[in-house]
């Protein structure tokens, strides 16, 4: 039987749809928590958005993220550090925030030659500076570039089930291709949160895991 391009396209669509379903399945049992791998991204305030894209510009939602109200945008930007080696195509996430923030991995920091601290999202005081280049302008952040700490989003119900409160820290066991443990993982509890642990691409690649992988909170 001759295999047509249409048959191949339909098969690829089916495989990708199955992968999406598996990755988005966040039903955890016992002490398990699903993982969401966070690639480098940018949060903007209104002033910086308009500097980069023009006066009156509004973000264009692309797809919803796992946490309610958060979404990836069609817009991407370029990051430049002292090395003058740009990282292009960095995704903007919405909605707008009160302060602009850039979240990168340790590997990215070597490319840019910046020294971002490991921080909770939003804690940008005294963090690294970086330059953001857009189609209409340039923003030079004096601070705002961080490496996001490992953290777990939980609802109050999940927090009660795990026996933790907001800002507690826990140990997480990862039984991926390269078994490891992550210590001092921050727990963030809020009624709007959906159960998920967030790690960056460096952590995920080192452990050999991806989106939807289940890790375990260890009781010590």
Strands 101-103 and 118-119: what pairing?
unpaired
Q: Is the pTM for the entire model greater than 0.85?
A: no
pLDDT of 40 above 70: yes
Listed residue (113, 119, 108) closest to 202, CA to CA: 108
Q: Report yes or no: 200 and 105 within 8 Å, Cβ to Cβ.
A: yes
Q: How confident is the model at residue 196 (pLDDT cuts 50, 70, 90)?
A: very high
pLDDT of 23 above 50: no
Listed residue (212, 174, 170) closest to 188, CA to CA: 170
CATH topology of domain 31-37+150-218: Barwin-like endoglucanases (2.40.40)
What average pLDDT score do residues 166-175 get?
96
* DSSP 8-state class, residue 4: P
pLDDT at 44: 98
What average pLDDT score do residues 199-212 get?
97
Per the prediction, the chain carries an average pLDDT of: 90
pLDDT at 220: 61
Cis ω before 130 (30° cut-off from 0)? no
Q: How confident is the model at residue 10 (pLDDT cuts 50, 70, 90)?
A: low
Distance CA(1)–CA(35), nearest Å, equals: 41
CATH 2.40.40.20 domain range(s) in the chain = 31-37+150-218
pLDDT at 30: 74
* pLDDT tens-place string over residues 119-166: 999 999 999 999 999 999 999 999 999 999 999 999 999 999 999 999
């Amino acid at each position: 039987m001759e295999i047509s391009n249409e048959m191949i396209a339909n098969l690829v669509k089916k495989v990708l749809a199955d992968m999406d379903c598996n990755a988005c399945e966040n039903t955890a049992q016992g002490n398990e928590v699903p993982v969401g791998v966070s690639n480098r991204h940018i949060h903007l305030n209104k002033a910086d958005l308009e500097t980069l894209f023009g006066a009156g510009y509004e973000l264009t939602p692309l797809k919803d993220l796992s946490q309610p109200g958060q979404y990836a945008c069609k817009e991407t930007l370029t990051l430049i550090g002292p090395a003058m080696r740009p990282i292009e195509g960095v995704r903007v996430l919405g909605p707008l925030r009160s302060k602009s923030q850039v979240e990168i991995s340790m590997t990215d920091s070597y490319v840019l030659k910046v020294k971002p601290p490991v921080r909770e999202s939003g804690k940008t005081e005294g963090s690294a500076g970086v330059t953001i280049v857009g189609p209409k302008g340039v923003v030079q952040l004096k601070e705002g570039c961080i490496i996001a700490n490992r953290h777990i989003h939980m609802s109050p119900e999940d927090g009660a089930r795990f026996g933790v409160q907001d800002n507690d820290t826990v140990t997480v066991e990862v039984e991926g291709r390269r078994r490891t443990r992550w210590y001092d993982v921050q727990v963030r509890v809020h009624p709007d949160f959906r159960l998920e642990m967030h790690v960056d691409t460096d952590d995920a690649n080192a452990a050999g895991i991806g989106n939807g992988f289940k890790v375990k909170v260890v009781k010590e």
